[in-house]
Amino acid sequence: MRKFSGWTLLKEAFGGQQGWTPQWRRVAPQPEYDAIIIGGGGHGLAAAYYLASEHGITRTAVLEKGWIGGGNTGRNTTIIRSNYLFDESAALYDHALKLWEGLSQVLNYNVMFSPRGVMMLAHTVHDVQVAKRHIHANRGNGVDNEWLSPEEAKAYCPPLNIERNIRYPVLGAALQRRGGTARHDAVAWGYARAADALGVDIIENCEVTGLVRDGSGAMEAVQTSRGLIRCRRVGVSAAGNTSVVLGLAGVRLPLESFPLQALVSEPVKPVVPCVVMSGSIHAYISQSDKGELVIGAGTDAYTSYTQRGALHVNSHTLSAVCELFPAFRRMRMLRNWGGIVDVTPDRSPIIARTPVPGLYVNCGWGTGGFKATPGSGHLLAWTMARDEPHPINAPFTIERFRDGHLIDEAAAAAVAH
Ligand code: FAD
Ligand code: PYC
């Protein structure tokens, strides 16, 4: 990469003459990139890909402090669905789901999207009412969702225990058949490869440590662990760390960061044909193509930036899983891990401009941003390219926490947080 500073341009203009003393005018240093994305997770890489592919902004760099996909993208339980309650959310998450449906073809990379159905269990009369409200709202928005009796739920997922005398009896379930899973790290690699092919620079081991603003307050450059990089359009997609990164520009957001964890079992033959979730008991389960049961737990009760959670949270989840799936009681768990999720007061994300001209943010996906990866990248790219939101992300502003236009999706979040 060729680096231009003001002085090198002047020197070049004078043929690099010896003894020449610059004295009349300094040429403004040129930005090295037209766009920078901070954070090489699925969201950041997708944004870079769409900046290049849909907006022709190929002089783009993704700066990642570790390795691409090493954050929540490579740590989540890969559940994809769009059965959220409010119109704004249905539009947002179904936009993403539609992109998932063609993603392997678009990227020419198998992201292993598997629409095997997501079943959300109801254990109380209140759960049943909430699930049915979601089903009606989803259908009104053209999003598929249907109610299953306990027997129908068991037919869809045979190992499920529908005995009525257990601690969390299954009173029915909401099923979104178009929902499912994908291979999480393949999503990061697929977007990275496609973006790279369009000219995007992906720079790993490059932590952003400062956001530099010009005299008018607009973005001018980012300071990194590998030096200063000039760019006047910067998107932050640094899940879990957003408040730290935006704090570098003096922007405060209503975000809290929590550890969220998951675990996998030893691999077994195919036994769980779909995704099963229970928000009431903080448990969700599916089976990976390798055969491991993929099990997710709730968030820790305390804010933290550590990428691991408290053991008792897993124990609580596993005891509930054993009750719902007695056949899994003797299985061994192979490993557990955690990620940091950043959570907004209404459990909906922010994809928006910030008060700093040239600085944009995509954050607040909490426990549920994997499903949004293609959609969020697409919308962040749009917002950065045009300096205005796409109609789909227009409601997901920072200002809504001041003006009260909240989009409260706590009940759809599926993992209490
Ligand atoms: P990340 O993949 O975390 O990427 C952000 C990147 O920013 C990181 O790689 C990080 O290193 C980098 N970064 C941070 N600070 C800096 C800096 N200063 N400079 C440079 N780089 C920086 N969602 C679902 O939809 N379905 C699920 O089933 C699901 N399960 C989950 C289970 C667990 C255990 C966890 C932790 C999360 C789960 N999620 C789920 C949430 C989902 O993983 C996230 O919302 C989503 O992956 C966020 O993607 P991202 O690209 O924004 O973040
Ligand atoms: O948002 O569907 C979800 C989810 C499942 C597990 C964690 N998040």
Ligand 2 in reach of 80 Cβ (< 6 A) = no
For residue 315, the SS3 value is helix
Main-chain dihedrals φ then ψ at residue 344, nearest 5 degrees: -95, 165
In a domain, 299, yes or no: yes
In a domain, 391, yes or no: yes
pLDDT tens for the chain, residues 1 to 417:
444 444 444 444 444 445 555 555 556 678 899 999 999 999 999 999 999 999 999 999 999 999 999 999 999 999 999 999 999 999 999 999 999 999 999 999 999 999 999 999 999 999 999 999 999 999 999 999 999 999 999 999 999 999 999 989 999 999 999 999 999 999 999 999 999 999 999 999 999 999 999 999 999 999 999 999 999 999 999 999 999 999 999 999 999 999 999 999 999 999 999 999 998 888 899 999 999 999 998 888 889 998 888 888 888 899 989 999 999 999 999 999 999 999 999 999 999 999 999 999 999 999 999 999 999 999 999 999 999 999 999 999 999 999 999 999 998 887 765
User: Which domain-ending residue is among 304, 325, 343?
Assistant: 343
Which of 82, 277, 293, 376 most suits a substitution to test ligand 2, by most atoms within 8 Å of the C-beta?
277
DSSP state of 173: E
Same-domain status, 196 and 238: yes
Give every CB contact of residue 368 below 8 A, 6+ residues apart in sequence. Answer: 413, 414, 415
Same-domain status, 332 and 202: no
In a domain, 14, yes or no: no
Q: Alpha helices of 168-310 — where are they, by DSSP H?
A: 184-197, 242-247
Which of 361, 367, 376, 409 most suits a substitution to test ligand 1, by most atoms within 8 Å of the C-beta?
367
Q: Which residues does a 6 A CB cutoff place in the pocket of ligand 1? A: 38-44, 63-66, 70-73, 75-79, 207-208, 237-241, 245, 260-262, 296, 339, 341, 365, 367-371
Same-domain status, 247 and 352: yes
What's the number of domains the chain is made of? 2
Cα gap 147→153, rounded to integer Å: 9
Same-domain status, 41 and 168: no
Cα gap 123→271, rounded to integer Å: 23
Ligand nearest to the CA of 363: 1
Same-domain status, 203 and 295: no
**Which pLDDT value is given to residue 378?**
98
User: Which domain-ending residue is among 343, 375, 403?
Assistant: 343
227: number of Cβ within 10 Å: 9
Ligand 2 atom having least distance to the Cα of 367: 8
Ligand 2 in reach of 77 Cβ (< 6 A) = yes
Q: How far is the CA of 194 from the centre of ligand 1 (A)?
A: 20
Same-domain status, 160 and 263: yes
Which domain does 272 fall in, by range? 118-177+256-343
Which of 72, 205, 306, 380 most suits a substitution to test ligand 1, by most atoms within 8 Å of the C-beta?
72
CATH number at 159 reads 3.30.9.10
Strand bridging mode 201-203 / 35-38: unpaired
216: number of Cβ within 10 Å: 7
Element containing residue 139 per DSSP (H, E): helix 125-140
**Which pLDDT value is given to residue 413?**
84
CATH number at 350 reads 3.50.50.60
Ligand nearest to the CA of 370: 1
Sheet holding 219-224, edge to edge: 208-213, 219-224, 227-230
**Which pLDDT value is given to residue 26?**
55
Cα gap 194→42, rounded to integer Å: 12
In a domain, 107, yes or no: no
Same-domain status, 300 and 322: yes
Same-domain status, 271 and 166: yes
In a domain, 93, yes or no: no
Q: How far is the CA of 9 from the centre of ligand 2 (A)?
A: 52
In a domain, 89, yes or no: no
Ligand 1 atom having least distance to the Cα of 339: 36
In a domain, 3, yes or no: no
Same-domain status, 408 and 270: no
**Which pLDDT value is given to residue 14?**
44
Which of 370, 373, 376, 417 most suits a substitution to test ligand 2, by most atoms within 8 Å of the C-beta?
370
**Which pLDDT value is given to residue 9?**
43
User: Which domain-ending residue is among 343, 363, 384?
Assistant: 343
Same-domain status, 155 and 269: yes
Ligand 1, atom 36, residue with closest C-alpha: 339
**Which pLDDT value is given to residue 5?**
44
Same-domain status, 189 and 302: no
Cα gap 266→362, rounded to integer Å: 35
Cα gap 58→224, rounded to integer Å: 21
Same-domain status, 232 and 361: yes
In a domain, 387, yes or no: yes
Main-chain dihedrals φ then ψ at residue 327, nearest 5 degrees: -65, -15
**Which pLDDT value is given to residue 113?**
98
* pTM > 0.85: yes
Identify the bridge partners of residue 230 per DSSP, sorted by sequence position: 221
